[in-house]
A and B are shown apart, each in its own frame.
Chain A
């Protein structure tokens, strides 16, 4: 077996208030495909950003050895010059430039500032052929599918004389067929002597392409396993990913007892949604679920499983292209074609991305809280500012929003307090059903507990709560029932007593067998 090409030793990376990586070690052997896996937020992407110079030398602790030399990359160009190329989860292609122009963007074949088109096209054709694309290099990127775009990214990496290729969740945006092609290509490149690091949480993919796998959890290296080893089963990997003890982190909760005969507060039947651009991809595929009053129902799934897409498409069709399905409220079918309709029927959706979809950051606490239900503090179209202030003040007290006044711009609040503002805003609409999408993402432990308490209180008041999360412990700690999703489909349903981290993770990573 070949020696190590890359060693990352004791990497520590701190962001303001959060320790993203604490003591991570990663050793990659020459010529292998090395998988890195872990739950969302385990530090996978951060580690790769450290390696590729996105987080430059000096902003982290520890050292990086590549081909036996200590490397101090000051930016991404420096790492590329050494032959380390990262392909990010979000594709970094310019849609209205041609394939060839994209491949050599920032690295043009030029003489005295003028592009040598003959050389550009010749070289582009060559690298495109290596990744198995026969499209003309002058085709615009916008005119080819997402799967091919991913291959163009790899072609771009090849043109930079790549030695170590890093792929961050390369199949997250691809359909099965394109995923299969991509995985084949990774194996093909391995034969040509290119070492790869693949970040993934799809266990079947890891088993198919990887030689070894390193598991990260909570910013630490847990272990590195040899995939070909008989002991490395999927269960083994899963227990490495989740294996942490459950402490006393959740409020005491009396489990919900379903009432006989009562129709569920919200029921979704046969819900199917297509990707907004790629019409052939179903991001939500024939999902049916229900939630009763007083019940907290979890939806577990990893990134790209379709949880957010499901929630947003139900909430006023705010995502994708609706294909099929009905929504029932208290047993009767309702229209939720627009957001105001959904709100009127007592549905509230608290977004996973509060900064972009939840708050007007430049505006104040009181105005953010009242925005979704301005009618409640207004008469004849005129907002009663005093009433609005009173409402905001009462939420500031009841939700324990830490701010000097309700006139503070929300951009000045911490993540936890911003989340409380978003929650207040939706509670103020007086909903019967609350869909909470990753309500504790990016907030500290103390604030998390407060959010859990609020959720518990809402359920106790008889509201139906849908709790979307990729953190299994919080779902296990809070929910009466948990659905699992993978690749747009429901893959399981667990009662509180049946659910365990292992059983959930098994269903969450249950992707369709990758077609050859």
Chain B
């Protein structure tokens, strides 16, 4: 995503022995770089390992085009929630209400579209607004009312769950109009000449690769113009090749099935957008500042209450979006939808490098964390592992990820 993750994670200072590692050539440099960004690379490596393991165990079924497509569809809502949750956790809070809010918005969508025949774009917009308002109310109570976020959102969890059941009268409601369905299940349309691949997806993939390469090269140039250390040329090229290969693989996999899911497109926009906001906007900075040291942020003139309020408003908005996506995929709103979503989103954030005390984490980290859980889910499903054991294994994965982080930090600290 970016070349300066180094600036985000408190990395161990380059030791005097770094020169020795560099003497080992390219490989030494790679190791040195990874050692410095243990958290980011650690999780990426773990994700790669899990993917490889399950690919072997399932005789390659995991990486079949159809399954990759499914994987995206099945986990998109958790990834959307994880982005918002990451912001909440960086700000030093927690949100337990998102699962219930997701269900509530799904129910609202169903009542509006199925029962009242409201046109789907209007209903979707209304749902998003209601989600944002719900988040804003909770944010108001937390930021201006001074009630701890754990309490407010625990109450929200109960309230929205209850409202969902009241609203749906205990029934499952469906099916949705086609427009809404597409949000959760649709693919980009087929265009152009008949090939064995989905043309638009291929095009998108190529555009993405071009954009990433351009950005990387420009970043490197600008860094050089500030006479800052940059990656050595050969390592930089290796990185570009790796990124290109990864994007190309996913593109080809998707293109050889039905193409790009619309959810993936939404998700892509969110990831890029939120990463940018967190890295480059004043608002993003202020979130890191209040989570990292609240008194210092206040004395620096950060409007901490406004920021907290906005973070929860945003969480509500994303929860509503996730609600629409889930409802669309299941093509029904059910009173039991969204169970444990909040826990999966929180787990994703922590696996992806968030800290209990706030101030640390990246949007990309939340996505990686969410994918680790998603691949575990999907892989174990393919292997017909029961949901009982799936939970146990996911629990251990969370423990292992955070345990590794704590152990790594302690090593650095000593």
Contacts and interface: CB of A to CB of B under 8 A. Distances in A.
Interface of A: 315-316, 318, 339-340, 342-343, 349, 351, 356-364, 366-367, 370-372, 374-375, 378, 381-383, 385-386, 389-390, 393, 404-405, 407-409, 411-412, 425
A351 B226 contact: no
A378 B286 CA distance: 13
Contacts of B226: 386, 389-390, 393
Contacts of A378: 281-282
B297 interface: yes
B301 A383 contact: no
A370 B282 CA distance: 10
B104 to A, nearest CB: 31
Contacts of B228: 389, 405
27 contacts: A339-B299, A356-B293, A357-B295, A357-B299, A359-B293, A359-B296, A360-B289, A360-B296, A360-B359, A361-B292, A362-B293, A362-B360, A363-B292, A366-B7, A367-B285, A371-B285, A371-B289, A374-B285, A374-B286, A378-B282, A383-B280, A386-B222, A389-B226, A390-B226, A405-B228, A407-B4, A411-B10
B293 A364 contact: no
Given A360-B292, A364-B7, A374-B282, A339 B13 contact: no
Nearest to A429: B301
B280 A385 contact: yes
A383 B285 CA distance: 9
A91 B286 CA distance: 34
Nearest to A426: B300
A131 B11 CA distance: 54
A371 B302 contact: yes
B293 A361 contact: yes
Nearest to B283: A381
B288 interface: yes
Contacts of A370: 285
Interface string B1-12: 000101100100
Given A343-B301, A360-B359, 11 more contacts: A349-B299, A357-B295, A358-B296, A361-B293, A363-B289, A372-B300, A374-B282, A374-B286, A382-B280, A405-B228, A405-B229
Contacts of B298: 318, 339
A363 B288 contact: yes
B303 interface: yes
A383 B281 contact: yes
B301 A339 contact: yes
B110 to A, nearest CB: 37
Nearest to A403: B13
A351 B298 CA distance: 12
Contacts of B285: 367, 370-371, 374, 383
Contacts of A372: 300-301
Contacts of A315: 299
Interface of B: 4, 6-7, 10, 13-14, 222, 226, 228-229, 279-283, 285-286, 288-289, 292-293, 295-303, 359-360
Contact of B13 (A383, A412, A425): A412
B296 A404 contact: no
A59 to B, nearest CB: 18
Given A360-B293, A381-B282, A340 B303 contact: yes
Given A375-B282, A390-B226, A362 B301 contact: no
B297 A371 contact: yes
Contacts of B14: 404
Contacts of A342: 301
Contacts of B280: 382-383, 385
A425 B301 CA distance: 12
Nearest to B284: A383
Contacts of A383: 280-282, 285
Nearest to B304: A339
Nearest to B13: A412
Contacts of B300: 339, 371-372, 425
A352 to B, nearest CB: 12
B281 A356 contact: no
B406 to A, nearest CB: 15
Contacts of A356: 293, 295-296
Contacts of B229: 405
Contacts of A363: 288-289, 292, 359
B7 A404 contact: no
A411 B11 CA distance: 11
B13 A404 contact: yes
Contact of B7 (A351, A357, A375, A407): A407
Nearest to A410: B10
B194 to A, nearest CB: 44
B80 to A, nearest CB: 23
B171 to A, nearest CB: 45
The 3 closest A-B pairs by CB, nearest first: A360-B292, A372-B300, A360-B293
Nearest to B413: A411
A415 B384 CA distance: 57
Contacts of B293: 356, 359-362
B10 A340 contact: no
Contacts of A389: 226, 228
A409 B4 CA distance: 14
Contacts of B13: 404, 408, 412
Nearest to A363: B292
Contacts of A361: 292-293
B299 A351 contact: yes
Contacts of A404: 13-14
B229 to A, nearest CB: 8
B63 to A, nearest CB: 37
Nearest to B298: A339
